[in-house]
């Protein structure tokens, strides 16, 4: 649990080194960013809002776009290494991470 909390707030896990998961999943806003469309590490708008992470352990689907992702271990790779660089933008930087 401690490692997860540390990584959730670690800005080194973004392509520009300034954002963390917590940038779009703000605890005071039920782990959303309060926007209708999230803004990613590139400054561009994401096509969707940031999903709330409240009670995520009890959900069937973990993303808006891909209901087949059923584990957090699979889901976390999408914003980090996905081809859509709007999120954390780490595609192509796996060795650095």
* 72 band by pLDDT with thresholds 50, 70 and 90: confident
Query: How high is the pLDDT of residue 64?
Result: 65
Contact 90, 97 (CB under 8 A): yes
Q: Compute the distance between CA of residue 95 and CA of residue 97 in angstroms, rounded to an integer.
A: 5
* 29 band by pLDDT with thresholds 50, 70 and 90: very high
pLDDT surpassing 90 at residue 39: no
Place of tokens 């917590």: 22
- In Å, what is the CA distance from 78 to each residue of 28, 30, 74, 75, 83? 24, 21, 8, 6, 8
pLDDT surpassing 90 at residue 21: no
pTM: 0.69
Domains of the chain: which residue ranges? Answer: 2-81
> For the chain, what is the mean pLDDT?
81
Architecture of the domain defined by 2-81? Orthogonal Bundle (1.10)
Mention every residue, 6+ apart, whose C-beta is less than 8 A from residue 74: 62
Q: Compute the distance between CA of residue 76 and CA of residue 89 in angstroms, rounded to an integer.
A: 13
């Amino acid at each position: 649990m401690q490692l997860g909390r540390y990584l959730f707030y670690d800005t080194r896990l973004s392509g520009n080194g300034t954002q963390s998961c917590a940038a779009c999943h703000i605890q005071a806003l039920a782990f959303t960013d309060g926007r209708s469309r999230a803004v990613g590490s590139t400054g561009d708008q994401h096509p969707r809002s940031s999903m709330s992470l409240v009670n995520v352990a009890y959900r069937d689907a973990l993303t808006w776009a891909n209901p087949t992702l059923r584990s957090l271990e699979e889901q976390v790779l999408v914003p980090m290494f996905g081809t859509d660089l709007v999120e954390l933008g780490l595609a192509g930087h796996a060795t650095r991470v």
